[in-house]
Chains A and B, each alone.
Chain A
Amino acid sequence: MSNLLHILPPTAFVLLLGAITTLVVSLCGNALGLIIGTTVCLMRISLHRTARVVAATYISFFRGVPLLVQLLIVYYFLPMIGLDLPPFFAAVIGLGLCSAAYQAENLRGGFLIIPKGQAEAARAFAYTPAQTRRYILIPQALRAAAPALINEMILILKASSLVSVVGVADLTRESQNIVARDLNPIKWYLIAALIYLVINFILARLGATLERRLNVGYGAATL
């Protein structure tokens, strides 16, 4: 028995692996959310009524249903349409779809502060609508929405603890595994909590630096 225990990886290593998985899942989910979120946001502010209604419904649904429920739906639904992917992908897709709804709203806030004259000026300079979006609107909207988007990243990191339920070996799941062996729940769950706290702190710091950099040449807070 003691030999068997020696083969098991040391707990610190397991926790580190879990923390890395947590970080990767949430960053991937966040990136997917930004891509879908930008699309949904552009639909939400587009001139086509149908696109606006679809986007508004998307935002209302994904913000109105608990993330856990969304994750379970994605997890069960993917195999039903013949996509037998590892849980990691279900987790990233679930996080991404949910986070997209929040990021779309954050970005919309960013778009709303851009003066209307800029788009008109771009048209006068013979920019196509796609070029106007790509070169004029999106860069400014991203900068204005940066604080909210960074905050969203921290929220997703915390929410990613739910992916343990659909079988991803993230920090929460790994600490559960350790507790199952070690029977010391307070210690290990508090350690897991502290690791989340540290990652959040680092993300917040990086976010603050990024915000400062984005605002170089734009005076103080652009809002």
Chain B
Amino acid sequence: MTFSLSLLGQYAPQLLKGFELTVIVWLAGSLFAVVLGFALGCALLSKHSGLTFPVRCYVEFFRGTPLLVQLFVAYYGGPSIGITLSAFTVGVVGLGLYGAAYFAEIFRAGFASVPAGQIDAARSFGIPVWSRIRRIILPQMLVLSVPPGITLLIILLKDTAILSIVTVPELTFQVTGMTIETFAFVEPFAVLAALYWALTELVSFLGRRTEYRLGRYLK
């Protein structure tokens, strides 16, 4: 069992391309997930069950089923109802819809943990509704949402590997292709694991720093 560096050198362009796509899909999917998740999280707080019920169903469905099966529905099932999307689009949208369900819960919990008394107090001071939201609720709920949000971002980063199964040419896809072409196993998978490990450690380090900075006012 020898470790061949030249093999890795030969495949470096593909690996780099895959790594780049992993990061792109992850960032695009996460952005989608945060935006949609925020909207859904707000919807969950509504008093109208006509709004909360469908959103609750959405959240339970996407949190209760495997991402892989959701991707299969979109990628293989889409064309049969006239929605033909590229693998990349399915990847970003799939990751986004999946992540949004979790972000919805995170933001909802964030909103719910702002004490009601603060809002009552703000109202009795005559602070207008938009200022109440912007200056009192949002800053606090965002700080509370950051730690679970970062955990979720790391989960989504790792879940991008699943996109290789629906042929998104990201890092895992490139490495599996390399294994099939060369019959080499140790080198490609060592690099694969190391790259993901480094990436998740980096994100969690940045996340801890962000948490510290945002949470400083609480200390």
A positions within 8 Å CB-CB of B: 60-61, 63-70, 72-73, 76-77, 80, 158-162, 164-165, 172, 175-176, 179, 184-186, 189-190, 192-194, 196-197, 200-201
Contact = CB atoms under 8 A, between A and B. Distances in A.
A82 to B, nearest CB: 13
Given A159-B66, A185-B80, A69 B189 contact: yes
A61 B68 contact: no
Nearest to B73: A189
Interface stretch (B31-39, B191-199, B207-215): B191-199
B77 A161 contact: no
A83 to B, nearest CB: 15
Interface string B171-203: 010001001000001000100110011001100
Contacts of A184: 80
Contacts of B179: 76
Interface stretch (B12-20, B84-92, B141-149, B158-166): B158-166
Chain A at the B interface: mostly helix, strand, loop or mixed? helix
Contacts of A172: 66, 68-69, 72
B8 to A, nearest CB: 16
Contacts of A80: 1, 185
B197 A61 contact: yes
Contacts of B200: 63-65
14 contacts: A60-B197, A64-B201, A66-B160, A66-B172, A69-B189, A158-B64, A160-B66, A176-B72, A189-B69, A193-B70, A196-B65, A196-B66, A197-B61, A197-B64
Contacts, number: 104
B76 interface: yes
A192 B69 contact: yes
Chain B at the A interface: mostly helix, strand, loop or mixed? helix
A5 B185 CA distance: 39
Contacts of B80: 184-186
A61 B160 CA distance: 17
Given A60-B201, A64-B200, A65-B197, A197 B65 contact: yes
Interface of B: 1, 60-61, 64-70, 72-73, 76-77, 80-81, 158-162, 164-165, 172, 176, 179, 185, 189, 192-193, 196-197, 200-201
A190 B73 contact: yes
A195 B80 CA distance: 22
Given A185-B73, A196-B69, A69 B64 contact: no
A162 B68 contact: yes
A69 B161 contact: yes
A69 B193 contact: yes
Nearest to A79: B185
B72 A158 contact: no
Contacts of A162: 66, 68, 162
B73 A164 contact: no
Given A161-B66, A197-B65, A76 B189 contact: yes
A66 B158 contact: yes
Contact of A185 (B61, B77, B176, B196): B77
B196 A65 contact: yes
Given A61-B197, A66-B158, A68-B162, A185 B72 contact: yes
Nearest to A186: B77
Contact of A193 (B61, B81, B189): B61
Contacts of A158: 64-67
